[in-house]
């Protein structure tokens, strides 16, 4: 490491250099209320391949503060960045990385004419460009209720900004900030405050850094410049999905504007460079080496596909079991329409091929795989094949399942074993095998379990099915708590009475063949009259993944039943008794008619 001082007007900037001088240069710019030390873990990893430059921005760490507390405008900050580049002898274009306010500076540098030609690439972490922000707000507010909710959600995340901008209140907040900053890192980010940055120094830096807000926002701030924020510099967005201060819609606002854009979603919070330095360093390395002439890795290809604003799941790899028909097929088509690559798995290979053909006919990408989720060895082979052929899945939908009706007294061992091996064991295998891959990759993901209305509605006619689906619901709840430490979401989906082929495949145990067939037909016709299509469940699944929902009852009867089960278990059982009496009447009628 080599330390030096660089002068920018009246300001002296503390600059640190790592790595060999003949390698591509990476410049890391920190945000508020940090110093260049927040990059230490990332910089140490990058220094093996690059020349790495970090510096304390004006008013922070070892750099001096301006006499005017408002001399923190972006023009002044651009002057500091230019002085650093000149001071370290950066004659060739460098690779810029910014976090928080450092990212705001980075956007200004790669969009404006003053410095743009000095950068070969830009990696932005948790800091929007002001042009993109303004355009996003206008577009979202005009797009309807969802857009309005997104803007209001970002407003809620930004309530601290008016406090920091206000006289006296900002100074008080700056004194309190060190404790909150340390707590946020420990509890939410999985990291500790950087040693060597004592609370007193942090409080001073926090007070000085109030100028960032006061000089660039509100009435004193410069008006947003003209233009839509385009740049010909290749840009990589690293979006922490648990960022408390910047919502995903805001941080994704460059999509559709910046032409050469790559989007990565990190399973972390705002200080992702502190909590996940290996991941951040790996992504920066892949991007810089590609810009320097190296091949596009599969991860970068995925990131490039994710930059399409019209494809919500662009480039994602989605594995769906039981996708040869019903909810699985509808979900596969929905993900493919949203830009995902889909692996369509089913024990019915013909049905899976039809799903793949339907997706291909609309221009989507899908691949077929025949697997029996009840076979442990086959599922092991399936998981290995997916990873070796297409990579680690981003989303797994454990959908494969069967139904069985009739009294528990009439349910033979072989039927019980079969429904358990598919409905529970199959879910367990899909979650465990692909979950391990997601954890090892370290880039997050999402796993969906298809449960049922029967999970919280007792029924004497569906004891085996209800028991397995209740187990799936609890399995998902437990697994969600286990996986959240890795940034992997888990959702249990409880559809309700949905019109799918499973109704005509449901066998009634203990019944004569003719009675079984008649009851099956009656149930299928009743659900067809209900008219709830699988496509609505598919849309709910995509929404649940996007929102990282824990439990999603889909149809109205599922939502009502879950509410009753939680509020009044006695009423839930009473309704089940009414259902049993109705079922007994139907069974008696069928038996009488069939003799």
Q: Give tens-digit pLDDT for 430-458.
A: 999 999 999 999 999 999 999 999 999 88
**Within a 10 A sphere around the Cβ of 4, how many other Cβ atoms?**
13
Q: Assess contact for 104 and 30: CB atoms under 8 A.
A: no
In the chain, where does the domain assigned CATH 3.40.50.1820 lie? 2-135+214-305
pLDDT value, residue 576? 73
Classify residue 372 by its DSSP letter. -
19: helix, coil or strand?
coil
Q: Using CA of residue 430, residue 432, residue 435, residue 437, what is the dihedral sign? A: negative
Residue corresponding to tokens 């209140």: 169
Of 577 and 266, the structure prediction assigns the larger pLDDT to: 266
Q: Using CA of residue 370, residue 372, residue 373, residue 378, what is the dihedral sign? A: negative
Catalytic residue among 55, 369, 428, 465: 465
Once rounded to an integer, what is the mean pLDDT over residues 468-479? 97
Once rounded to an integer, what is the mean pLDDT over residues 357-364? 96
Q: Assess contact for 299 and 317: CB atoms under 8 A.
A: no
Please provide the average confidence, as pLDDT, over all residues in the chain. 90
Q: Using CA of residue 569, residue 570, residue 574, residue 580, what is the dihedral sign? A: positive
Task: Look up the CATH superfamily of 317-594.
Answer: NAD(P)-binding Rossmann-like Domain (3.40.50.720)
Q: Is the pLDDT of residue 492 over 80?
A: yes
pLDDT value, residue 118? 96
CA-based nearest residue to 446, from 356, 304, 547, 322? 547
Q: Assess contact for 19 and 46: CB atoms under 8 A.
A: yes
**Lowest-pLDDT range of 129-133, 146-150, 218-222, 424-428:** 218-222
Of 200 and 382, the structure prediction assigns the larger pLDDT to: 382
Q: Does domain 2-135+214-305 have CATH number 3.30.70.890?
A: no
**Within a 10 A sphere around the Cβ of 217, how many other Cβ atoms?**
15
Q: Which residues 6+ apart lie within 8 Å of 70 measured at CB?
A: 211, 214, 215, 220
Q: Is the pLDDT of residue 180 over 60?
A: no
Please report the DSSP string for 68-101 in residue order.
STT---HHHHHHHHHHHHHHTT--S-EEEEEETH
Active-site residue flag, 262: no
pLDDT value, residue 230? 94
pLDDT value, residue 196? 46
pLDDT value, residue 162? 92
- In tens, the pLDDT along 294-350 reads 999 999 999 999 999 999 999 999 999 999 999 999 999 999 999 999 999 999 999
Confidence of residue 179 (pLDDT cuts 50, 70, 90): low
Confidence of residue 512 (pLDDT cuts 50, 70, 90): low
- In tens, the pLDDT along 536-577 reads 999 999 999 999 999 999 989 899 989 988 888 888 788 878
Taking CA 401 as the corner, what is the angle to CA 397 and CA 407, rounded to the nearest 5 degrees? 145
Once rounded to an integer, what is the mean pLDDT over residues 63-91? 95
pLDDT value, residue 260? 96
- In tens, the pLDDT along 22-63 reads 899 999 999 998 899 999 999 999 999 999 999 999 999 999
Q: Assess contact for 488 and 445: CB atoms under 8 A.
A: yes
**Within a 10 A sphere around the Cβ of 444, how many other Cβ atoms?**
22
* Phi and psi torsions of 8, nearest 5°: -130, 95
- In tens, the pLDDT along 217-247 reads 876 666 666 678 999 999 999 999 999 999 9
Confidence of residue 178 (pLDDT cuts 50, 70, 90): low
Q: Is the pLDDT of residue 378 over 80?
A: yes
**Lowest-pLDDT range of 29-38, 394-403, 492-501, 572-581:** 572-581
In the chain, where does the domain assigned CATH 3.40.50.720 lie? 317-594
Tokens of 14: 């503390």
pLDDT value, residue 433? 98
Q: Is the pLDDT of residue 535 over 70?
A: yes
């Amino acid at each position: 490491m080599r330390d030096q001082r660089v002068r920018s007007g009246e300001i002296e900037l503390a600059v640190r250099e790592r790595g060999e001088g003949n390698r591509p240069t990476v410049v890391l710019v920190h945000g508020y209320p940090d110093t260049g030390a927040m990059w230490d873990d990332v910089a140490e990893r990058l220094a093996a391949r690059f020349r790495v430059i970090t510096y304390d921005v004006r008013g922070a760490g070892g750099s001096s503060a301006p006499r005017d507390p408002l001399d923190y405008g972006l023009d002044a900050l651009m002057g500091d960045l230019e002085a650093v580049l000149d001071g370290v002898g950066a004659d060739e274009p460098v690779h810029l990385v910014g976090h928080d306010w450092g990212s705001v500076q980075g956007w200004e540098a790669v969009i404006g004419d003053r410095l743009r030609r000095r950068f070969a690439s830009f990696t932005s972490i948790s800091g929007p460009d002001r042009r993109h922000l303004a355009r996003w707000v206008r577009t979202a507010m005009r797009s309807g209720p969802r857009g309005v909710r997104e803007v209001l959600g970002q407003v809620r995340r930004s309530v601290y900004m008016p406090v920091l901008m206000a006289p006296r209140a900002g100074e008080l907040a700056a004194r309190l900030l060190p404790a909150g900053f340390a707590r946020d890192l420990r509890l939410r980010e999985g990291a500790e405050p950087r040693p060597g940055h004592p609370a007193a120094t942090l409080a001073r830096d926090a007070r000085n850094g109030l100028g960032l807000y006061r000089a660039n926002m509100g009435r004193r701030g410069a008006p947003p410049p003209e233009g839509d924020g385009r740049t010909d510099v290749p840009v990589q967005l690293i979006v922490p999905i648990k960022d408390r201060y910047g919502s995903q819609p805001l941080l994704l606002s460059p999509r559709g504007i910046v032409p050469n854009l790559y989007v990565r979603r990190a399973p972390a919070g705002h200080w992702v460079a502190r909590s996940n330095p290996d991941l951040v360093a790996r992504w920066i390395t892949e991007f810089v080496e590609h810009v320097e002439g190296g091949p596009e890795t599969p991860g970068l290809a995925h990131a490039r596909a994710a930059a399409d604003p019209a494809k919500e799941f662009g480039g994602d790899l989605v594995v769906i079991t039981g996708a040869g028909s019903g909810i699985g097929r509808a979900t596969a088509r929905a993900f493919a329409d949203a830009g995902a690559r889909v692996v369509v798995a089913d024990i019915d290979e013909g049905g899976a091929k039809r799903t793949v053909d339907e997706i291909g006919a609309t221009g989507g990408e899908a691949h077929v795989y025949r697997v029996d989720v009840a076979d442990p060895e086959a599922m092991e082979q399936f998981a290995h094949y997916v990873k070796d052929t297409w990579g680690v899945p981003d989303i797994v939908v454990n959908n494969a399942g069967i139904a069985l009706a009739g009294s528990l007294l009439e349910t033979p061992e072989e039927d019980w074993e079969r429904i358990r091996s598919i409905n529970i064991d199959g879910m367990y295998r899909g979650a465990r095998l692909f979950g391990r891959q997601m954890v090892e990759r370290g880039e997050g993901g999402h796993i969906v379990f298809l449960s049922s209305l029967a999970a919280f509605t007792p029924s004497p006619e569906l004891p085996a099915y209800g028991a397995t689906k209740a187990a799936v619901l609890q399995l998902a709840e437990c697994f969600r708590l286990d996986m959240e430490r890795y940034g992997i979401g888990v959702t249990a989906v409880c559809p309700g009475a949905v019109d799918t082929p499973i109704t005509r495949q449901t066998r009634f145990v203990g019944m004569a063949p003719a009675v079984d067939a008649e009851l099956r037909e009656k149930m299928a016709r009743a659900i067809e009259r209900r008219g709830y299509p699988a496509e609505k469940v598919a849309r709910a699944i995509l929404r649940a993944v996007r929102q990282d929902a824990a439990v999603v009852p889909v149809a109205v009867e599922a939502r009502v039943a879950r509410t009753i089960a939680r509020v009044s278990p006695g009423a839930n059982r009473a309704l089940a008794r009414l259902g049993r009496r109705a079922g007994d009447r139907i069974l008696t009628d069928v038996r009488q008619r069939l003799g």
